[in-house]
Amino acid sequence: MAALDGVHGWYGWSFMLGAAILIANLIFLQWRQFPARQRATATATPVAAPTRPVRWRTLQAVILTIFGYVGMATFYLISQWLTEYGTDVVHLSLLRARLLVSVYSAGSILGVLLTALVVNRWLKPAWFMLVDTVVSLLTLVAMAALPVFGVMFAGSLIIGISATGGVLQIGLTLMSDLYPAHKGRVLGIYYTASGLASFTIPLVTGGLAKTSIHQIMWFDVGVAVLGVLCAVAILMLKRAPQPVGQLVDD
């Protein structure tokens, strides 16, 4: 987008490029052979599912649902207000402010690749979620406290990698592991919470914008703090001995 603005190009080319990629992907998939779906036979030996205390599992599900809201809110704020923050607070030109959004988008792509490489190879999902949220929080604090171009440029890349590059999906994976037989319901609950963030956060930031765009970045810092608390709580619940209580099969 920043490159198109620099040459006074039509912004629609960015959408045309996305459409071309989707069409090419559709054509590519037509030539792929997918494995046949395997159905369980009646003679198959059932495998006992792990058991967990009901309250213990429900508490994790509630925290992860909150994380679904917080995770979406964290990067939604950046994606929607980064340009305005760059022009009004950092005093950048419109071209440079839009460059920050491009850097952020590139970071989100790198973050997806990093998540795929790191999770389950070097870090367990719960640990990865904690590391990602802490990095996001520290980056947002730097961007709010030191609004200069160098910090904003590096921060846009890092926040794209950490907040947008897969941590939201990690939360969904952890929640799905709690209820493997109800993954569709889990998906609906988790992304309903995420959708509520997309609806409610603009109501808050609209009021903050009337006072100061800078306050929106500090508000994002507060949201990121909640994300860290959720990640810490999940990690503690995963590592702590499970209490004795009513057990049910997953």
56 phi and psi, to 5 degrees?
-60, -45
Residues recorded for the chain: 250
CA distance 203 to 191: 19
- pLDDT level of residue 9 (50, 70, 90 thresholds): low
Residues 6+ apart with CB under 8 A from 200: none
Rg (CA), the chain: 21
- The mean per-residue pLDDT over the stretch 13-29 comes to 83
User: pTM for the full model?
Assistant: 0.75
Kindly report the average pLDDT of the chain as a whole number: 83
SS3 state of residue 53: strand
CA distance 224 to 221: 5
> Which percentage of the chain shows pLDDT scores above 70?
82
- pLDDT level of residue 45 (50, 70, 90 thresholds): very low
CA distance 37 to 23: 26
CA distance 156 to 152: 6
Is the pLDDT at 15 greater than 80? The verdict is no
Q: Burial of 170 by CB count in 10 Å (0-12 exposed, 13-18 middle, 19+ buried)?
A: buried
DSSP 55-107: HHHHHHHHHHHHHHHHHHHHHHHHHHHHHHHHHHTS---HHHHHHHHHHHHHH
102-153 per-position pLDDT tens digit? 999 999 888 888 888 888 788 888 898 999 999 999 999 999 999 999 999 9
Amino acid at 110: L
- Partners of 53 in the beta sheet? 247
